[in-house]
Amino acid sequence: MQRYFLHELNQKITGQDAHHIKKVMRMKESDSIIVCAKKECFLAEIKSIDDDVTYQIKEALTKPNTWDVTVIQGLPKHPKSEIVMKQATIFGASKIILAGMKRSIAKLENESNKIKRYETIIKEASELAHRFDVPMLELQKSMKDVDLSAYDLLLLADENEQTRLLKDVIKPDHKNLKIAVIIGPEGGISDEERSYLKKVGCITISLGKLIIPTELASLYVLSYLSAEFS
């Protein structure tokens, strides 16, 4: 069933979402949809389709218990950043932060345009995955601009780590913690960044014996949490 994330639940759908209902999905009156706002979702029935679409809420849907995981991604080249946005959203990230790192080839330029594009990707991916919320998005010039004190557990995916795996760090009772997983860009993290992150409390982890491309590395962590402790 088609899901729409709205700013507020005021019985009216406008803009691109209304266009999607009318022109793409070709829905009619009495068709069912799901509307979401403020981390709540409801089954609804379309009442009228005109310039805007009106609906009536029928019942609340039960929200699943999920992990609170922020993906802090070292800025990769285009289009890898868009892959991160889509896949991390689908795999359950609660927040995505793109941060410039020493070995980042790409630079944060035209940020307002990038944010608009990324927000569209995240919203569409949230609808596709049938999430109850849309992940928050943040862009930062460097890792030192990211507020790491907001997290209870900081994990740094480090190719130099040989022994410590996710199973050695993540436990079922960690589900109430705010977790951040930090992924380096294509060239990995520098020694200077590694030293800084360890100093602020990051725990280095290995993602296995094989090197995972930067745009897919966060999926390893997110899928592990979903599979082991859902």
What's the pLDDT tens digit per position in 54-91? 999 999 999 998 899 999 999 999 899 999 999 999 99
Q: Whole-model pTM? A: 0.93
pLDDT tier for residue 227 given thresholds of 50, 70 and 90: confident
Q: How far apart are CA 177 and CA 200, in angstroms?
A: 17
Give the span between the Cα atoms of 22 and 53, in whole angstroms.
Answer: 8
Which residue, among 221, 223, 224, has the nearest Cα to 73 in the 3D structure?
Answer: 221
Percentage with pLDDT > 90 across the chain: 87
pLDDT at 58: 97
CA–CA dist 171, 177 (Å, integer): 11
Q: Which fold is adopted by the domain 68-229?
A: Alpha/beta knot (3.40.1280)
Write down the mean pLDDT value for the chain: 94
pLDDT the model gives residue 109 = 78
In this prediction, residue 191 carries a pLDDT of 95
Is residue 159's pLDDT more than 70?
Answer: yes
Q: Taking the domain 3-60, which CATH number applies?
A: 2.40.240.20
Give Cα 206 to chain centroid, integer Å: 21
Extents of the domains making up the chain: 3-60, 68-229
